[in-house]
Structure 1
Amino acid sequence: MIHRFPVRVFYEDTDMGGIVYHANYLRYIERARSDWVRQLGNDQNAMRDAGIVWVVRRIEADYITTAKFEDELMVETTLREISGVRLTMDQIVKRGETTIFTAAVTAVCMNAAGRPVRLPAEIRALMQG
């Protein structure tokens, strides 16, 4: 299943050259991941209240070409792998059919003490379902 999340490039997203500042792609894919887990039924506020939060452990990113002010982008998120302790997703940012950015993102859950914990079974079921 592919989750799609639209993004419009605002002026504040661009650098002096009028192109999207590199760090903003990380913001775009974060928003898409948050929307994806929310749409799956994962209540991140309830998780936090239970002492568990999502944390990005690793991102491997490839900046292929640029996006510019007023571009309409689409972030596509797909689940690559899920285990007892981690979730790996592929995320692609496109302008039309043109891929402009790709990332492989690994996320884990941590407790309030900052220690990794197993992904809750209900979350694994939501993601695999």
Structure 2
Amino acid sequence: MTHTYQLRVYYEDTDLAGIVYYANYLKFIERARSEWVRELGVDQARLKAEEGIVFAVRRVEADYLSPAKFDDLLTVETALAQLTPARLILDQAVCRGADRLFTARVTLVTLTATGRPTRLPAEFRRVLEGAGAQG
């Protein structure tokens, strides 16, 4: 189950050397994760408003492999690596064509309105399990 999201590198994404500033890769993969969840049919705003639950990044392990540059067309790939009752681990990659430029393993958890950890919402787990995710 791999999701893809395309984006273009704009001038504002680059540093003085004309390459994508390292922190912007985290923004790119965040956008891709948000689109992935939306395409799964999970309404994060409703989840927060009705159940007081939000997703939070707990851990990111990242490797910068090769630079992206102004005007590059990039694809962010998001794949579920592991699903447990309390966390979701995703593998994400930023690619230019067939070239992998950046990879990350991202651990997501859910928090209550008071910031306490909670289990992943049953609705979200059902969607992932229905799509073939392994627990």
Normalised by the size of structure 2, how large is the TM-score?
A: 0.94
Deviations 1:53-107 (A, max 9, x none): 0000000000001000000000000000010000000001000000000000000
CA positional deviation for 1:121:
1.2
Alignment correspondent of 2:9:
9
Report whether the alignment pairs 1:30 with 2:30: yes
For 2:45 and 2:38, locate their aligned partners in 1 and report how far apart those are by CA, in whole Å. Answer: 10
Q: How many residues align?
A: 129
Alignment correspondent of 2:99:
98
For 1:104 and 1:128, locate their aligned partners in 2 and report how far apart those are by CA, in whole Å. Answer: 20
Alignment correspondent of 2:45:
45
The structure 1 segments of at least 4 consecutive aligned residues displaced by more than 2 Å after TM superposition are none
Unaligned 5+ residue runs, structure 2? 131-135
For 1:63 and 1:88, locate their aligned partners in 2 and report how far apart those are by CA, in whole Å. Answer: 19
RMSD across aligned positions (CA): 0.5
For 2:128 and 2:7, locate their aligned partners in 1 and report how far apart those are by CA, in whole Å. Answer: 23
Report whether the alignment pairs 1:21 with 2:15: no
CA positional deviation for 1:122:
1.1
Aligned identity (percent) is: 57
Alignment correspondent of 2:65:
64
For 1:128 and 1:93, locate their aligned partners in 2 and report how far apart those are by CA, in whole Å. Answer: 25
For 2:126 and 2:89, locate their aligned partners in 1 and report how far apart those are by CA, in whole Å. Answer: 15
Q: Secondary structure at the match of 1:36?
A: helix
Alignment correspondent of 1:73:
74
Normalised by the size of structure 1, how large is the TM-score?
A: 0.99
